[in-house]
Every structure is written in C-alpha cells, then in structure tokens.
C-alpha cells in the first residue's frame, strides 16, 4: 500500500530567508503577531503561517513518515499566487518557488513530485513559465486560483492558456486563495474558508463547463481541491438550469452532470458519508488523495482515516490513496 498526496503546500525557503531580518521578498513581507505567530504580509493583508510552513524538506519528510504518506505532490502556498502584483515581480516569485519545488523533486525523486505557480495576470508570461515548469523543471503541472483578480477562467483571455495546458499535458490543480466570494457577505466565523472554498470550487466547475472550455479542450487534466466543493451536491440544480434556461446551454451541448467525470476531486471532505457520496457521483477512478498539509484545516490522520472506512472496499481505498494519482501523474 502506498499513498500519494496531491494537496500538500510549500511556503518556499527563499521567502523565509529573504524576510529573515525584516527584508522583503519581491514586496512580500513577514512579521510576528502578538502571540508570536509568523504572519506573511501580502499587499495590506496579513496571513498566519503555521510553524510547519517553515520546515525544511528533511523535516517535512519526517512528518510524512509519521503520517504514513509516501509522496507529496508539492504545490505552492496559495497566499503567494501574487496575481495582484506587477507581472515582473509576480514572475520572480513564481520562478523562485518553481525552482525550489524542482530542487525538492530532484533531491528526493521517490518522495516528491511538483506543481508550480504562474503569473496568471499576464497570460503570455504565464504560458512561458508553464512551459518552463513542464519542459525544463520536470514538474507535473501547476496550481491556480479559482479566479484571476475577479475574472473566471473561461473568459476569452484565458483560451491560449488552456490550449497550452492541454498541449503540454500539464495537470491543473484548482485551489482558492484568501478572500473567497463569501468574504464580502461575511468574513466572520472562518466562513470565507469553511464555506467560501467550496462555493468558489463549484463556480470554477460550472464556469469551465458552461463556458465551453471542457468541450474545446477534451484532454485537460483538472483536479478540483476540497472534493470539488459543492459541485456534486449541487449538480442536479445545475442540470435543471441547463434544461430550462437557454443561456446555460449556449456553449455547453451537454448537461453539467455529463462533465463530472472530466475532472478529478481530492478527498478533503471530512466525513465518510460525504466521501462515499463523492465516489458514487463521479466514480472512484476520479477521486484522489489529498490532505492540505501543513494547515489547521488539514485532515488529521489522513491515511488512517481512509483505511478505517467501512463503506469503502479495499480496491476503492487503493485507488484513492495512490493508484489514481500514480496513473494520472505517471509516477
Ligand atoms: Zn490547500
């Protein structure tokens, strides 16, 4: 039995080093809050970084061993997408992060695979860096936000991006950052994360499907983080909307449910009935193991959690824990 984790983040050492004595990393800064917690300062916004976010690859490997996780498909910390920055600055942070992930993969090829980050605010630059990730650095794809400064990913300016993604065979891992669409309604009770992440992901599914991206690019490999959010639970209503409203059908010849199996979904749904429902809705070959390491929202003992489930067969557990990702990523 193996386990391959598609949802494990990296706050790059180059950020920690550059900000060690109060310096900045391409305009990003770091400070400590009143409780002594490390805080990244991006623009005017402050984001708490957990102690593990500073760990070296060796410390990470020891933690993976204790959790029974064999491989991290390392993806960047989502607070550093930097789509709001000047393209040159954002590209510098992307390149440094991607180089560092590639170095981890080179150092421990049996334990790490990598996803990069690209400056999506400038599609041409994003494609160039995506190409570098895939052809020079040996990464498996990239992680991107559910929107680029408010623009969803089916908008016309992103069509060259999807074409390049498909041609390069890159996996795209969708993961929100900081503010979600829930933030404007209520930023209290941790709702922008606990509900907003799931709402953002359902909108990503729906906009790619209704917007025609999935029909234009049949070979895309897309993983929706956090179990695809509310996608599966809400798919019946999306189908009904497609049936009764012409505007829902303009670019999508098939009902949204026909596209469910075009995506992959990580297993971060927290309860066994929810995971069973996800498997029964999209098929077990579309569900992949993810943990959200190293944050407080991560699954606590992820491998044991899956292994202890009574409603999953041994074959289903193997598919989720490693077989699907081994096949998808050629590991
Ligand atoms: Zn995450």
Q: Is residue 308 part of a domain?
A: yes
On whether the pTM is more than 0.85, the answer is yes
Whole-number Å distance, alpha carbon 192 to ligand 1 midpoint, is: 14
Residue 172 phi, psi dihedral angles, 5° rounding: -115, 120
Whole-number Å distance, alpha carbon 248 to ligand 1 midpoint, is: 30
Whole-number Å distance, alpha carbon 176 to ligand 1 midpoint, is: 8
Short-list 46, 28, 161, CA closest to 92: 28
Q: Is residue 24 part of a domain?
A: no
Can you give the pLDDT at residue 83?
97
Domain residues for 225?
Answer: 4-9+58-329
Residue 76 sits in a domain of what CATH number?
Answer: 3.20.20.140
Residues with CB under 5 A from ligand 1 (ion): 292
pLDDT band at 166, cuts 50/70/90? Answer: very high
CB atoms within 10 A of CB 163: 13
pLDDT tens digits along 19-41: 998 899 999 999 999 999 999 99
Whole-number Å distance, alpha carbon 285 to ligand 1 midpoint, is: 21
Q: How confident is the prediction for the chain on average, in pLDDT?
A: 97
Instruction: Please give the average per-residue pLDDT across 224-244, as a whole number.
Output: 98
Q: Is residue 109 part of a domain?
A: yes
Q: Is residue 17 part of a domain?
A: no
- Window from 18-22, 82-86, 160-164, 326-330 with minimum mean pLDDT: 18-22
Whole-number Å distance, alpha carbon 186 to ligand 1 midpoint, is: 21
Q: In this prediction, what percent of the chain has a pLDDT beyond 70?
A: 100
Total domain count, the chain: 1
**Edge-to-edge strand order for the sheet containing 263-266?**
4-10, 71-76, 112-116, 141-144, 171-174, 221-224, 263-266, 287-288
Q: Is residue 49 part of a domain?
A: no
Q: Is residue 31 part of a domain?
A: no
Can you give the pLDDT at residue 120?
98
Q: Is residue 108 part of a domain?
A: yes
Can you give the pLDDT at residue 258?
98
Whole-number Å distance, alpha carbon 8 to ligand 1 midpoint, is: 7
Q: Is residue 41 part of a domain?
A: no
Q: Report the C-alpha gap between 194 and 28 in whole angstroms.
A: 26
pLDDT band at 1, cuts 50/70/90? Answer: confident
């Amino acid at each position: 039995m193996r386990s391959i984790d598609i949802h494990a983040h990296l706050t790059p050492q180059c950020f920690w080093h550059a900000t060690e004595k109060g310096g900045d990393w391409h305009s990003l800064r770091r400070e400590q809050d009143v409780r002594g917690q490390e805080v990244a300062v991006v623009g005017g916004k402050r984001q708490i970084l957990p102690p593990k976010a500073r760990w070296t690859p060796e410390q990470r490997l020891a933690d993976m061993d204790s959790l029974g996780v064999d491989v991290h498909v390392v993806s960047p910390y989502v607070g550093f997408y930097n789509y709001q920055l000047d393209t040159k600055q954002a590209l510098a942070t992307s390149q440094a992060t991607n180089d560092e992930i590639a170095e981890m993969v080179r150092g421990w090829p049996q334990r790490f695979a990598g996803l990069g980050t690209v400056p999506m605010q400038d599609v041409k630059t994003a494609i160039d860096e995506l190409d570098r990730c895939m052809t020079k650095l040996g990464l498996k794809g990239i992680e991107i936000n559910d929107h680029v400064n408010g623009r969803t990913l089916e908008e016309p300016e992103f069509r060259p991006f999807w074409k390049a993604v498909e041609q390069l065979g890159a996996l795209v891992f969708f993961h929100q950052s900081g503010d979600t669409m829930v933030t404007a309604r209520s930023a209290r009770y941790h709702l922008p994360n606990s509900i907003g992440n799931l709402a953002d992901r359902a909108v990503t599914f729906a906009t790619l499907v209704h917007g025609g991206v999935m029909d234009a690019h049949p070979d895309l490999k897309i993983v929706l983080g956090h179990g695809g959010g509310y996608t599966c639970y809400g798919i019946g209503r999306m189908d009904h909307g497609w049936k009764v409203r012409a505007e829902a059908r303009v670019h999508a010849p098939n009902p949204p449910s026909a596209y469910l199996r075009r995506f992959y979904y990580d297993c971060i749904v927290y309860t066994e009935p929810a995971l069973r429902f996800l498997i029964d809705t999209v098929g077990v070959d579309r569900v992949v193991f993810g943990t959200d390491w190293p944050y407080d929202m991560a699954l606590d003992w992820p491998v044991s959690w899956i292994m202890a489930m009574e409603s999953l067969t041994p074959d289903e557990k193997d598919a989720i824990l490693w077989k699907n990702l081994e096949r998808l990523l050629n590991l």
